[in-house]
Structure 1
């Protein structure tokens, strides 16, 4: 790898993690500014109350923090979707393994915590058109886009290392399972950031484990369709937002 490409990958990774935090704040401020300009409210606290009454607006914050920059960058650079596992190759196997693993994890988590596997959100009382729009947007934001965000970071972080493989488990002479440095680093950081945003330390282990499993599937099968679908099912935020928007 050239020094220039290595520096670019480093800059992209650092900027993306910073944008994960700062981008959300900027979009939140933008939403408040629009509320001020439209005379919906004239105070900061009033703006917060409006957002509390219209929590679906936070979908834009999610998009900005977890996926906007990587998506825009990849589209601008016309990067092939297959680089991030968006392809038919190994898609069936990817779907089966991803959904199976996360469903098992979901059941175990439910048994340990006593929380239901699935729970619906309270209705936002949106008109049908807006409800469908925000349901689709929320599904995309909290599902596939979030997975794309991590896999994009895995690819770019792996680009920083000449030797990408952290360790490998040989299953037989022709098959093995490996974990890359980018996978481990990205999943650990994503878990740590969730501790900051949720103020709940156990979420670090759960988020890290989930995305570590999905990251291993992605890097080994070169397919992200399964992880995207599995995370959309597993992540209760998806069901909560979709049901709140539609019902």
Structure 2
């Protein structure tokens, strides 16, 4: 009976196993999810679109929900429903040591270049959150802009590789296409940061993606991106404002 139930579940959600559906639907949700959360903010604050953007500017912590919903939620839900092996996306002990080592070199290089350029310049929050909301938003923000964002990219790399049957290559179609689209999306999702930020994100995720493809492990890249992402340092400062 249990086996039959599992088989029925697989048939019912068969389309979720299709890599073409996974990749296209995830990229569509990337933008739809953003719009959906903004609409929810519109409903909560009873404001128009322009006012909602102003609210997001004043209360930047609300953007953490946008990041969580639009970036990580869809791949996470599909992975859980389909019961994908976490190892498919590098969440295992296999290659962990190499992943840590190579990722630490990326972190060291990034900080080294930053110091030579005059030191890191991280923004400070212009708002204050009382306890326990400061803890909640810091935890949510670090998770969304750190490990979850990397999971999103590595998940797309893996499933895009399934489409092009290029999973055995380190510099694969999945890696190249995912990084290009992800980097380009920052021009629209972070217009104030501009093309320069998009290029930076693309370069970093190309390096992290190569580590993932070479080691078959994504834990190192998750930690590395959490450490070098300026948004994370902005989020941590919420605890002291």
Q: What range is the shorter-chain TM-score in?
A: 0.7 to 0.9
Structure 2 residue 27 is matched with structure 1 residue 17: yes
Aligned to 2:78: 73
What RMSD in Å do the two structures reach over aligned CA positions?
2.3
Determine if the alignment matches structure 1 residue 238 to structure 2 residue 232.
yes
- Equivalent position of 1:142 in the other structure: 145
TM-score (norm. length: structure 1): 0.83
Deviations 1:51-106 (CA, angstroms, capped at 9, x unpaired)? 33322111001112211100111111111111111112222221121122133034
Q: What is aligned with 1:174?
A: none
* 1:116-195 to 2 correspondences below 5 Å: 116-117=119-120, 119-122=122-125, 124-165=127-168, 178-195=170-187
Query: What SS does structure 2 have at the residue aligned with 1:33?
Result: helix
> Once the 2 structures are TM-superposed, how far is the Cα of residue 46 of structure 1 from its aligned partner?
4.6
Which residue is 1:172 aligned to? none
**Cα distance between partner residues in 1 of 2:146 and 2:195:** 22
Spell out, residue by residue over 1:155-198, the C-alpha distance to the aligned partner (whole angstroms, 9 max, x if none): 110010234455xxxxxxxxxxx312101110111111112223
Q: Which runs of 5+ in 1 are unaligned?
A: 37-41, 167-177
| Unpaired segments ≥5 residues, structure 2 | 1-13
| 2:93 aligned to which of 85, 88, 91 | 88
Partner residue in 2 for 1:217: 211
Cα distance between partner residues in 2 of 1:133 and 1:55: 14
Quote the Cα distance in structure 2 between the aligned partners of 1:138 and 1:16.
21
TM-score (norm 2): 0.85
Match of 2:69 among 64, 71, 95: 64
Moved more, 201-210 or 216-225: 201-210
Q: Looking at secondary structure, tell me which structure has more helix per residue.
A: 2
Counterpart among 90, 104, 110 of residue 105 in structure 1? 110
